[in-house]
Amino acid sequence: MPTDVVSALREAIRTIPDFPKSGILFKDITPILGNAELLNRAVDLLAAPYKYSGITKVVGVESRGFILAPLLAQKLNAGFVPVRKQGKLPFETHYVEYDLEYGKDIIEMHIDAVKPIDRVLIHDDLIATGGTANAVDLLVARSGAYLVGFSFLVELLALNGRGQLRSGVQAHAVLSV
């Protein structure tokens, strides 16, 4: 992987302290999104490890997972499937309830969006504790599809979210901070 591109991406990410609440160091990826060259390279680097994996569906998580997942899907010649917060999807859904730092959340996916024959890549912009990615894994499992891997633009190493993901499934992050 060309380290200069990864460095350029890392430098473009803005860290905003205490957003959206006190104690959070928010990683703002919008400077990458707004730069045509960086956006292109980011999508290339997200796609690279899965180019020959026969991915048929990229599952993206609301809300920032929706930004790059469709671009990644297009690059991999796959479809895009949205996973949304409870009550947002119009058709019948599978759902999973999962723990947040404070309280619980429910995410949903249309029951016909992913089929047992699909080979799935789960994408989110960032992995922190791994709770969200794990919940999406459970959701995809409900469909009976094969999970090929996880894909993130940013990994927060200090929280070891990677260690919470299902073992034996590839997990790739373009950059870690």
What token pair was written down for 2? 């060309």
Measured CA to CA in angstroms, residue 15 lies from 1, 119, 174 at distances of 24, 34, 17
CB of 54 to ligand AMP, least distance (A): 26
Give Rg (Cα) of the chain: 16
Residues carrying an active site annotation: 64, 101
Looking at the Cβ atoms of 14 and 115, the one nearer to ligand AMP is 14
Looking at the Cβ atoms of 16 and 91, the one nearer to ligand AMP is 16
d(CA 35, CA 37): 6
Looking at the Cβ atoms of 118 and 125, the one nearer to ligand AMP is 125
Query: How many other CB atoms are there within 10 angstroms of residue 52's CB atom?
Result: 7
**Chain CA centroid to CA 114, Å:** 16
Residues that bind ligand AMP (CB under 6 A): 24-27, 61, 64-65, 124-132, 161
CB of 173 to ligand AMP, least distance (A): 11
CB of 109 to ligand AMP, least distance (A): 15
What token pair was written down for 53? 């994996």
